[in-house]
Amino acid sequence: MLPALLAEIGLPLLARLVGGALGTIDHPAAKAAAEALKAATGSLAPEQIAEANRHIEALAAMESAFDRDALREVNSSLRAEVASEDAYVRRMRPTFGYVMAATWAAQMGAVAWTVVRAPAQAASVIESLGALSVVWSVGLSVLGVYVYRRSSEKALAAGSEDPGIAARLVRAIRGG
């Protein structure tokens, strides 16, 4: 009952939504996929689904190529960083982490001090922390990327090979 209902209602609705989204992308494969999905009325024939899947695979391959190029650039800069004889270049990521930790501790210490020593000002000081949320989100995001990349570097150095998210997604879709 549910699969039939999804095939009659859900799949055409999904095809319209995905087709509309693909139509906004300025690429011939995306436009072709959008047109194939728009042409589907009522229930989709298996041939139409196969054609849409072919276009989605083409888009995934293009995205994978873009990601591969971006990662190649990042990896080359990381290799240059590791190969550098300059101690600061090699230790920039840990330095950034220590600076973030010290800054966070100083800020939280100042807030705690204000709450204890000047309780009348505590509400406005704590409220003003909201103004710093964007600054902290950027800094902590950069720190998170640094930690993630370093973890990947350690895994690769230990012999583990990370195929990347695109390869894992394609493998999951294909059932491998």
Report yes or no on whether pTM surpasses 0.75.
no
Q: Where are the domains of the chain?
A: 1-84, 91-176
Residue bearing tokens 């995205």: 63
Q: Which amino acid is at 82?
A: V
Q: Is the pLDDT of residue 102 over 90?
A: yes
Cα–Cα distance measured from residue 115 to residue 121, given in angstroms and rounded to the nearest whole number: 7
Q: pLDDT grade, residue 167 (50/70/90)?
A: low
- Mean pLDDT computed over 21-43: 76
- Mean pLDDT computed over 43-72: 79
Cα–Cα distance measured from residue 47 to residue 95, given in angstroms and rounded to the nearest whole number: 56
Q: Is the pLDDT of residue 120 over 90?
A: yes
Cα–Cα distance measured from residue 13 to residue 57, given in angstroms and rounded to the nearest whole number: 20
What letters, b where the CB count within 10 A reaches 16 and e where it falls short, cover 128-165?
A: eeeeeeeeeeebeeebeebeeeeeeeeeeeeeeeeeee
Q: What was the pLDDT predicted at 107?
A: 93
Cα–Cα distance measured from residue 78 to residue 70, given in angstroms and rounded to the nearest whole number: 12
